[in-house]
Structure 1
Amino acid sequence: MGKVPAMGRKEDKEKRQPNPQKTLSTSVDVDAKLQQAISLYQIGQLQQAEQICQQILKDFPQHANAIHLLGVIAYQVEEYKIATDLISRAIGIDSGQSLFYINLGNVLQEQGRLEESIQAYQQAIHLQPDHADAYSNLGIVLQKQGRLEESIQAYQQAIRIQPEHTGAYSNLIFAQDFHLDIGLKEQQVERQKWNQRFILPLSGSIQSHPNDRNPDRRLKIGYVSADFKRHSAAQGFGQLILNYNQAQFDVFCYSGVVKEDEITKRFKDAASGWYSTRGKSDEELVEQIRNDEIDILIDLSGHTDGNRLLAFGYKPAPIQVTGMGHDAPGVTTIDYRLTTPIRTQPEEEKHFVEAPVYLDFFMGFMIPLEIPSVGYLPAYENGYVTFGCLNRFSKVSDDSLELWASLLKRIPDSKLLLKSGELNDMELRGRTIDHLSHLGVAPNKVILLGGTSQYEHLNTYNQVDISLDPFPYGGGITTFESLCMGSPVVGLTGGLKQSHRNSSAILSPLGLNEWVAKTKDEYVEIACHWA
């Protein structure tokens, strides 16, 4: 899921390339300088772009576009407070540009200020009702608030305005994973539409592959992702890059990371080759992959933020694989998808275009560099049981909350702890408390926590006796983290889609079938039994 800038995709997610738009300047010279800064920004040369903006502001301190671009650059490097101040300052000078409000919404969203973000996107739409990016980005924040129907409507409106908006399409496909009433068949239909619109037209550009056919040489494996950094997706695929057999394979990483960190460095040190895709077109990326003579190219994103699925449409490698990071994207030029017998039922195979490769696990788990000690069972000290869910809040459906409320009523004095970055937003906290109160759960039985560092996030499990998996979109890395920190997970399997089977696909191979329920009633009974 990726926020899309006003000119072009953010995928692209993002993350993140909101493209500033040139408007009327005070002089031809300044106008040319600003365009130069924008061009440098778009190819990832942020420092050079920043320097030009600072030069402009020396002569024209109130130049709104230059100030706005500085704010967007700060956003790219995750300096969100600075970005908010700069973009707000630009709006104070020129309040008539919808793009300013879109990028303000993006920055506010990253800070968990979801209601303010919505207001910014709505103002952008007020100024420019046919702005597809404003609707697509509005859909993302609505989804984070759990307002799924409204988010889907926003994505659909973005597509109506701009049918070639690949980011809005991917956002819509991603959102369907969270919808209780949209099953696998319907999900694949939407993927087929995406494939027909964006991938099939590229078939004429597919070329033969010049790869050396010597069977004794090392195979070249290429991984494509914007998440080679501290990110949950990297925890799922990280060991593939850190622990491969260097005698048999060369590993190349095609990275869309903007702000690199210590995890990025680990991947860089382990890889045989590293190529930044930041600011590169699909054609440029395809040319690089072909020049590297990659044998097997692996998509690590699916339809999530920062994906480069269009590059896979050119078939730059003889074998292409997907299935890690997100469900298979439905791309006909991708040959195989990684799955498990639990995630994909035999009768469901007819809905996929990628051939299955069945594994015991559909994802791995890279243990964080810093991890707290596992504490004693919280119930021993508290005198009551604490159930918890540390998944992203957009996974916590109304049906999940209703089921958990019935569980709390069954266990006297038990409490429910919910933790997510989205819960930094006070309005969302208030609505969640109100919703649970309506379901008969008193506010003093609910603990709501916002985003923290990864170490503090993991340490929160020392406050949780039993983790509750949400549905219909079950946990992945969150399930692994909970188990790693000694908190067992109650999961619900079955359902109409693969994401509903995430936790069971993790728990069952580990011999934890007794924690996996097939019905909602059984889910409650398992939680009550262990409580």
Structure 2
Amino acid sequence: MDQTSLAEADQQHLAGRYDEAIAAYEAHVAADPASFDGWNGLGHAQASRLEYGGAIPALRNALRLRPDEAKVRVNLAKALFAIGHVSEAVREYARAWREGDGETRAAALRNLAVIAPGDPELGHAAVREIRRYWAEAEGAGLVPIAPRHRPGAKLRLAYYGAFFDRPNWMKMYMGVINAHDRTRFELHLVADGPPPCAAAGYCDHPEDRIWQVEGMPNAELARHLAEAGIDVLVDLNGYSHPARLPLLLHRAAPVQIAWNGMYGTTGFPHLDALVGDRWSILPEEESFCSEPVRRVGQTYLPFRFFYPTPPVTPPPCLEAGHITFGSLNSAYKLTDPTLAAWAAVLTAVPGSRLLLRNRALDHASNRADLLARFAAQVLGPERIILEGGGSHEDFLATYGRIDFALDSFPYNGGTTTAEALWQGVPVLTTIGDRWAGRTSRSILMAAGLGEFVAPDVAGFIELATRLSRDPQDLARRRESQRAALAASPACDPAALCRELEAIYQETVAS
């Protein structure tokens, strides 16, 4: 294929005709294996198609030809991370950060800050330093506003986030927002996207102020927040929406709180509290935090379902005659230690199956990559069921085909843990070696289900093996779990709201 044909492949890609582009690029590199542009184009087209398992070898081939192309290294890291090769992704981002131009270095550092807690090879100090570097880079030359508290009848709270319209996301937050005492607090909900709505669980209060700020620069938003006299600014999304996290660098309110989406220190200055609990962050880990840690009495992540959910069903093993383990965690959480632990569980439980479902598994190359990784753990494809995306209700119904949910390491489930428990499925996890690895523990302990928290991976394997021997006990647990969960602190956002209100008031007064 000549350069004209390569340009035509590029045009197919730019037009969104990914299948045609991939076929053209593949023909080109078959004819000219030394074509950097061909391999790079193929990798980009595969990634655009979300075929990360195909993008990875293509981008590696491009880098073999031109190792100094740091932008390609960033794209390789994105593909690696998307399907669970987290440690490799961190290494590629780190090299791009060291070797790239200004734009490439900024992108690599931002992505490193986001994914660092999920790398099993990084410790607390490394995560803190990466996030501090990013905060320093974002804050270079910035002068904080640092307004003072304006005494008044009500404390003005501003919660900002990007997912106010998404029911499955907001079940972890909206219960707290709804429970605020409007006689003492004035609420401002700052939305990077559609506003809060009844479908997402929001109970409209006439005095609440709704801000729609999508696309507004952080400096401009900070100025508006300061002018509005906000007393307490609370970040709801953290590293789940990193574009808005640097708002905190502007110090737009006298008190700034990081509640969720951090899974470790933010690395940012100008924070007055990082909200956690005794199960998620240990006292000896506070030295690795850039901000003061405030622990609430129960889980920092209670939830409440305010939309219809499928009924709890009997465990499928009663009819199938074998145990089905499962996970609906995102593909980027499927690290090598996770797959090794899961493979060990299936080896220890003869005849068992593993059902995995996430959107990445819609794509053939991603499925092939995952099966190859399991093959390296001596687990054949006949033991594994892979399913792709679907509606939220359909995802919840999947738990009717799972006996036990297996957690991921070192980055646990959060929303998926809550959903599995609500559907009657025990979630098996470990104590974890970091905050990202203790989210499930926090929820389970508050739910009174500490028996599902193993001390380590060896204990996790033993726990799964032991519990799988008694299907009738599993059936009894499943019948009662939802009611017990609903009555537990894990489903009591109002109680957390009272604690947060006290933290807000104490911090403003201090």
Query: Is the TM-score greater than 0.5?
Result: yes
Q: Write out per-residue CA displacement over residues 248-280 of structure 1, whole angstroms, 9 at most, x where no aligned residue.
A: 2222222222x6796787559458222233221
Q: Write out per-residue CA displacement over residues 168-213 of structure 1, whole angstroms, 9 at most, x where no aligned residue.
A: 32310222222112111221121222233333642xx223526531
Equivalent-residue separation in structure 1 for 2:301 and 2:199 (angstroms): 19
Distance 1:411 1:219 in 2: 55
In structure 1, the residue matched to 2:285 is 348
* Code of the aligned partner of 2:226: R
1:154 aligns with 2:92: yes
2:442 match: 505
Deviations 1:401-428 (A, max 9, x none): 2222222122221111111111122112
1:398 and 1:265, CA in 2 relative to 1: closer, same or farther beyond 3 A? closer
Summarize the Cα distance change of 1:152–1:319 in structure 2 as closer, same or farther, 3 Å threshold: same
The amino acid of 2:466's aligned partner reads: H
Pick from 121, 129, 143 the counterpart of residue 181 of structure 1.
121
Q: Does 1:330 align with 2:277?
A: no
- Greater RCO, CA 8 A, separation 6+: 2
Match of 1:309 in 2: 245
Is 2:404 the counterpart of 1:466?
yes
Secondary structure at the aligned position of 1:303 is classed as: helix
**In structure 2, C-alpha distance between the alignment counterparts of 1:171 and 1:518, rounded to whole Å:** 31
Q: Which amino acid aligns with 1:471?
A: F
Unaligned runs of 5+ in 2: 1-7, 26-36, 469-510
Matched, 1:456 2:456: no
> 410-419 or 224-233, which moves further after superposition?
224-233
Q: How does 1:205-224 map to 2 (within 5 A)?
A: 205-209=143-147, 211-214=149-152, 217-224=153-160
- 1:5 aligned residue: none
Distance 1:138 1:254 in 2: 34
Identity of aligned residues (%): 26
- Trace 1:185-264 onto structure 2 (pairs within 5 A): 185-199=125-139, 201-202=141-142, 205-209=143-147, 211-214=149-152, 217-230=153-166, 233-257=169-193
CA contact (8 A) 2:232 2:255 kept: yes
- For 1:404, the equivalent position in structure 2 comes to 342
Q: Is the 8 A contact 2:266 2:289 kept in 1?
A: no
**Alignment partner for residue 416 of structure 1, among 349, 354, 362?**
354
Aligned-CA RMSD value: 3.6
Q: Which residue of 2 aligns with 1:34?
A: none
Q: Distance in 1 between matches of 2:419 and 2:48?
A: 23
CA distance in 1, matches of 2:272, 2:260: 14
Amino acid corresponding to residue 282 of structure 2 in structure 1:
Q
In 2: Cα distance, 1:188 partner to 1:527 partner: 33
Instruction: Count matched residues.
Output: 441
**Counterpart of 2:239 in 1: which secondary structure?**
coil
What is the distance in 1 between the residues matched to 2:119 and 2:315? 34
Question: For residue 217 of structure 2, what is the amino acid of its counterpart?
Answer: S
Alpha-carbon distance change, 464 to 179 in structure 1, aligned in 2, over 3 angstroms: same
Q: Please, which runs of 5 or more residues in structure 1 have no aligned partner? A: 1-61, 72-82, 93-97
Q: Which amino acid aligns with 1:415?
A: R
Q: How does 1:337-416 map to 2 (within 5 A)?
A: 337-359=274-296, 360-367=298-305, 369-416=307-354
- Give the Cα separation in 1 of the matches to 2:17 and 2:235: 33
TM-score by length of 2: 0.76
8 Å Cα contact 2:170/2:201 also seen in 1 = no
| Offset, 1:512 | 1.2
Q: Distance in 2 between matches of 1:486 and 1:321?
A: 34
CA distance in 2 between counterparts of 1:267 and 1:130 reads 50
Deviation at 1:481, TM superposition (A): 0.7
Name the residue aligned to 1:486: 424
State TM-score, norm by structure 1.
0.74
Q: Match of 1:220, SS?
A: strand
Residue 451 (structure 1) shift: 1.4
Distance 2:199 2:62 in 1: 35
Contact 2:167 2:200 in 1 (8 A): no
1:169 aligns with 2:98: no
Instruction: Note the 1:121-132 alignment, pairs <5 A.
Output: none
Query: Hey, what does 1:9 align to over in structure 2?
Result: none
Q: 2:275 corresponds to which letter in structure 1? A: L
Shift of 1:392: 0.8
